[in-house]
Amino acid sequence: MKDQRRLLRSLLCGEIYLGPALAAMQGPPERHRYFYPTAATVAERFPGSIRILEIGSWAGASTISWARSFLALRSDVQVECVDQWLPYFDLSLETNLHYRQMNIAAENQEIYSLFLHNLKSAGINSIVQVHRGSSRDVLPALKSESFHLIYIDGSHAYEDVLTDIHEAKRLIVNGGVICGDDLEVQAGELAPSTLRQAVLSGRDYVNLEDDERHFHPGVTSAVNECFGPVSSWEGYWAVRWEDGRADSVQIDNSKLHMPKHIQDAIEKSCSPTVFQRTSGYTIFQRADDLIAISDLLFEKHAILLEESQISVDIPPAIYVAQTIGDLLLKVPATQACKAGFSESTQNVSEPTLLGCIENYNIVSYAGSIYGIHISSGSIDVRDGIRAILDKVGPCGLVLAPDVERARAAIALRQNVFPEMCGVQGTTNTSANHSTQVPISGESLFTLLRSLDVLAERVDASQTSLSAKVGQVIDQIPLQLVKLQNLESKIAGVQREMLNLESRVAVSEVEQGALRRAYAETHDFLISEQASLRSAIAGSKELANITADALAAKISGCAMRLDEIAGNPMIKLFVRSNQKGSR
């Protein structure tokens, strides 16, 4: 990962770190210039203690900016930060490496640790309260009308921004400022269908097809829905919420100020700086190493240097090494290339006009020959190749190691592109009166043939290199998606294994319980069976005893009746009753 050495040094030395490692710096740093003038308007309205709510803090850059802005205004300030510091980007949608870096930094807790480190290094940890959780969970628990400034820079998803703004309206005091980041384009600048389609895409940001701008559709749509047009500056936006409606915010441009920690981060950033030049290559110093870029590649693809993470050699275009000695051993044919420079132009420290060749002013500077078309007007070659190209265009400049090669290149251009190189323009008077340097036809023919061969080789190398680089770049999103899918499958398999293990464990427990229940039921049934058998046997015995006793009683009763019937008195009584009845 880029800039790891400076990150480690900052952690060890107690310094604020906001470099490219862990994607610590979020958003264009120039937006921090508007924090101080915004703080000034809030402090003027509320001269007492100030409470700030920050939704989305990441590495603490904006937290420090807000705290220091109010402290500079001699305000008693408290800042409350709300952030999950957890991965939340869908890498199947967001294939840019930046989002993967953010997810990794949040997943292993490194960015949260850096946030705490930066607060302590800035000396503001005592005035910051941290609410670690999603804004959807944290904000509803906060007291209404308790903050004087609320800064929204959390999730850019439409629903999340909408929720954050609705809660901010409840939490802000009357007359307080609600502001935020990432409003590059307002809804009024877009066709409704364009904005709607961008929101439905679910992307964090999208590029506009008709120009080079990009914007965060969730932010643009939610801000417009809640406030309509708002005050905005370079992507930073603000409204004053008063009496239930949004008013514009007026800031004093004279108070625009880049916070020191942001300026330090810019100056210490690991953007490559020129270390030295060799023939055909420019060597750049990066944070952790040196990289040599072919001038042919650099002139066409200079933007690669700004965000390059190339760490391996890609011959013959790019070479990487830790020391200048090792790097120069890798760069091929540097001595052969140097042979093409004339001795008279190697050590020229100031631009020198040598003459004019076919409407091109010939200038010697810093070991090179510049041919600048006379229609371009006054050009200072000390501004650098890119600045010159921006002014004169590709056909307005010829760069060569010596005059003869510059002459051959100009002749070739005018033969191949006469309509482009023959454009009339403002003529440089001093150039028109310069001396023409003659050249023989045979020499020109030889130079042109050499130049043609060289051009063919360069074109072939560029085509091959561009194809290889293009293939690699094209494969990166696919590989990231494959990796994400593989990780998802692995996670799914792990979840299934856990579920299966849980089911097996539950099954074993259930089987044991069933076995115990069966044994208990079996024992109970055997016991009941024995009890029933005993009861039945007892009942039979009782019945037999009862039957015998009953028979004995019946026999006794019969004998008694016989005795009664044989009693003389009973017999006399019976006969008397019989006579009476007659």
Q: In degrees rounded to 5, what are phi and psi of residue 375?
A: -75, -10
Q: Which residues contact 547 (CB under 8 A, 6 or more apart)?
A: none
Q: Buried (b) or exposed (e) across 360-390, using 16+ Cβ within 10 A?
A: bbbbbbebbbbbbbbbbeebebeeebeebee
Q: Which CATH number fits domain 4-267: 3.40.50.150, 3.30.470.20, 3.40.50.300, 3.40.718.10?
A: 3.40.50.150
Q: Which two tokens stand for residue 186?
A: 């307002």
> Radius of gyration (Cα) for the chain, nearest Å?
46
Beta strands 368-373 and 397-400 are antiparallel
Q: Give yes or no for a contact between 20 and 6, defined as CB atoms under 8 angstroms apart.
A: no
The per-residue pLDDT string of the chain (582 residues; one tens digit each, 9 = 90 and over) reads 456 778 888 888 889 999 888 889 888 899 999 999 999 999 999 999 999 999 999 999 999 999 999 999 988 999 999 999 999 888 888 877 778 889 988 998 899 999 999 999 999 999 999 999 999 999 999 999 999 999 999 999 999 999 999 999 999 999 999 999 999 999 999 999 999 999 999 999 898 876 667 899 999 999 999 999 999 999 999 999 999 999 999 999 999 989 999 999 887 765 555 556 666 777 776 666 778 887 766 544 444 444 455 677 777 778 888 777 677 778 764 433 333 333 344 444 678 877 778 788 888 887 788 888 887 777 888 888 777 877 887 677 888 777 777 787 787 766 655 554 554 333 333 333 333 334 444 444 455 555 555 656 665 666 666 666 666 666 666 666 677 677 777 777 777 777 777 777 666 777 777 777 777 777 777 887 777 777 777 777 777 777 777 777 777 777 777 777 677 766 666 666 666 555
Question: Which among 114, 150, 154, 163 has a CA at the least distance from the CA of 4?
Answer: 114
Beta strand extents in 388-452 (DSSP E only): 397-400
Q: Domain extents for the chain?
A: 4-267, 273-337, 341-437, 479-582
pTM score:
0.52
Q: Give yes or no for a contact between 246 and 230, defined as CB atoms under 8 angstroms apart.
A: yes
Beta strands 360-365 and 352-357 are antiparallel
Long-range contacts (CB closer than 8 Å, 24 or more residues apart) made by 395-400: 395/420, 395/421, 395/423, 396/372, 397/370, 397/371, 397/372, 397/373, 398/360, 398/369, 398/370, 398/371, 398/372, 399/368, 399/369, 399/370, 399/371, 400/368, 400/369, 400/371
Question: Which among 115, 56, 54, 50 has a CA at the least distance from the CA of 78?
Answer: 50
Question: Which among 198, 138, 189 has a CA at the least distance from the CA of 163?
Answer: 138
Measured between its terminal Cα atoms, the distance across the chain in Å is 141
- The whole-angstrom separation of Cα 102 and Cα 21 is 10
**Chain Cα centroid distance, residue 579:** 133
